[in-house]
Amino acid sequence: MGVEWRKRFGGRLVLVTGAGRGIGRATAHAFAAAGSRVICADRDGHAASLSADAARSLGTGGAWADEVDVSDAAGMERFAERVLATHGTVDVLVNNAGIGMSGRFLDTSVEDWRRTLDVNLWGVIHGCRLFGRQMAGRGAGGHIVTVASAAAFQPTRTVPVYATSKAAVLMLSECLRAELGELGIGVSTVCPGFVSTSFTSAMHFAGVPEEEQVRLRERFRHVAGGRVYPPEKVAKAVLRAVARDTPLSVVTAEARVARLVTRFSPRLSRALARVDP
């Protein structure tokens, strides 16, 4: 990280959810390299600890791990109180934790919807409500980033549950930006397309027998695997969004194309929604 990043983020307290792997891990490490104090939160405590260990070796600000499930409202309440008591008010919150869900709408169960929305939407709501309130109470500003997806603005029949969850957090972020700006709290959304992470290995496919899950995950991984966009580039986009107070950052080529098509050719966007990958 350059001197300008260390000047901007040195000493800042940054909380990253889903920091155990992928984009979350890369983001935690990027902030650490910029001199921030970093809290690596993940429902996988061991993965969070490994991320924190690596973050400490990258910077001088310090890094800590915490195990928390963002979908657990009571658990997030306790986590927010713990962070405040131990480290103080967070300067930057990165809502990154998320899960994948694929399958046609008529194949998805209520449990499929609940599981996905609990993490992808309610996890963001819990983080913004709890840590945003702490930022507002301190009266010194702050920044909230939500990692969404190109699926937030490109309709598709293959991932309706996931796309709905990401569209919801994009709108939530826009609403919060309008409300919290007067308090000096910036809000940004980062929307990547396919990124080289292990995200697809945990993808759940609705209405599919368990023995088929592995095969479909491999197929999905092959489709996404053609992309070599590293999570470290998404992490840099997160830091830029905070530094520039960017409302929406669209990263990866296919995400930018999807955004343009949705805005300027809705008919084409709807046609693409009918195409299976």
Just list the catalytic residues.
162
**Which positions ≥6 away from 12 have C-beta within 8 Å?**
31, 35, 36, 37, 61, 91, 92
Q: Is residue 130 within 8 Å of residue 144, measured between CB atoms?
A: no
Measured CA to CA, the distance from residue 144 to residue 174 in angstroms comes to 11
SS3 label, residue 154 = coil
Token pair for 276: 């299976």
Using alpha carbons, list the distances in angstroms from residue 164 to 23, 101, 105, 187, 211: 20, 11, 11, 20, 27
Q: Which of 145, 159, 170, 34 is nearest to 103 (CA)?
A: 159
Q: Is residue 158 within 8 Å of residue 274, measured between CB atoms?
A: no
Q: Which of 70, 152, 78, 170 is nearest to 118 (CA)?
A: 70
How would you class 94 by CB atoms within 10 Å of its CB: exposed for 0-12, middle for 13-18, buried for 19 or more? Answer: buried
Token pair for 180: 């919290």
